[in-house]
Amino acid sequence: MTPDIDHAVLNFSPAASSLLIGIMAVLIFGIALETRLRDLRDIVTLPRAMIVGILAQFLFLPAVFWAVIQLLHPAPSIALGLLLVACSPPGSTSNVLTHRAGGNVALSVSMTAVSNLVAIVILPLNFAFWAGLDADTAALLRSVSLNPWEVMAHIALMIGIPFAAGVCLRETRPALADRLYKILKPVSLVILLVFVLAAVASNAEHFLAWGALILGIVMLLDSIAFATGYGLATLCRLDEYNRRAVTFEVGIRNTSLSLAMVFAFFGGLGGMALVTGFWGAWDLSAGLLLAAWWARRRAWRHSPATGA
């Protein structure tokens, strides 16, 4: 008998949940190790590319996902997982993929840093807003009594502290920051991959029952996420060099943060956990394919001073 995805709870111990939060903190710390204070000043000067990227992530992407959800009518827990992914900030691999694709790495690093900081406040409010627009997802959200302010405090601890520590180390001990970054980046990603595989193995029943459906939805929405970034950047007349950075910033989501939130606030709710788990695996695969394709095509840069 196929389990009810909206009432299924993935097998996830408190120790595993704590480990996931630790992995995410290391990933955020790694982002910060590559971030200088002058990178954060981009949010003050607000070049056009930065504005486009921030709006694409926190306004257009959740709106597009919500519209697609209304068309597909997936189970409420799956819909909540998709909205949580859409409202999350970009993942750290967006910087690596932008580099491989020949895009504006400086813009990518700056946008990742700024977006993860902005997400401390915006993510819980944005998620509550979009989830509240649909009767089914709103009802499921009320059933877990989600407090946006509690979520905000939780995200601040998961993102704010490791981010501040990383930036401080970058500014005071840049050589040490470089060495740590080279170690932490691949190691943390490998640990995250092993963690996800272990979670899949311990919850095989749910993955077998719902995997094909959720993977199909994830592949569709992930393609839409990349297209949203590139399309909006094109409409705003950014050059190809910056379009590629914006595309990966919008397409690559911080699913480690999403997973941590699912287990911290939703008790490992089946649909949400499966969406975020599948998204993390497929997102990286799709990003690598796109980066490899773009790497064969040079990106021309027209207006580096203005970010156009």
pLDDT in tens, 288-303: 899 999 988 765 555 4
User: How many degrees, rounded to 5, is the angle at CA 21 between CA 41 and CA 260?
Assistant: 90
Q: Is residue 37 domain-resident?
A: yes
Q: Is residue 308 domain-resident?
A: no
| Other residues' Cβ atoms within 10 Å of the Cβ of residue 266 | 22
Q: Is residue 169 domain-resident?
A: yes
Task: Region of 268 please: left (phi>0), alpha (psi -120 to 50) or beta.
Answer: left
Q: Is residue 134 domain-resident?
A: yes
Q: Is residue 2 domain-resident?
A: no
- Residue 215 and residue 62: Cα distance in Å, rounded? 19
Confidence check: pLDDT of 89 > 70:
yes
- Report the sign of the C-alpha dihedral through residues 141, 145, 147, 152, in that order: negative
Q: Is residue 300 domain-resident?
A: no
CB 93 within 8 A of CB 252: yes
Please state which of the ranges 160-169, 264-273, 277-286 shows the lowest mean pLDDT.
264-273
pLDDT in tens, 111-144: 888 888 888 889 989 999 999 999 888 888 887 7
Q: Is residue 60 domain-resident?
A: yes
pLDDT at 306: 43
The continuous run of DSSP H or E covering 302 comes out as: none
Instruction: Choose among 146, 10, 14: nearest CA to 83.
Output: 146
pLDDT at 223: 96
Q: How confident is the model at residue 12 (pLDDT cuts 50, 70, 90)?
A: low
Confidence check: pLDDT of 240 > 50:
yes
- Residue 127 and residue 85: Cα distance in Å, rounded? 9
- Domain with residue 123: its CATH number is 1.20.1530.20
The residue range of the domain holding 233 is 14-293
pLDDT at 206: 61
Confidence check: pLDDT of 227 > 90:
yes
Q: Is residue 305 domain-resident?
A: no
Number of structural domains the chain divides into: 1
Amino acid, res. 204: A
DSSP sequence for 92-121: THHHHHHHHTT--HHHHHHHHHHHHHHHHH
What's the mean pLDDT in 262-287?
Answer: 82
Q: How confident is the model at residue 2 (pLDDT cuts 50, 70, 90)?
A: very low
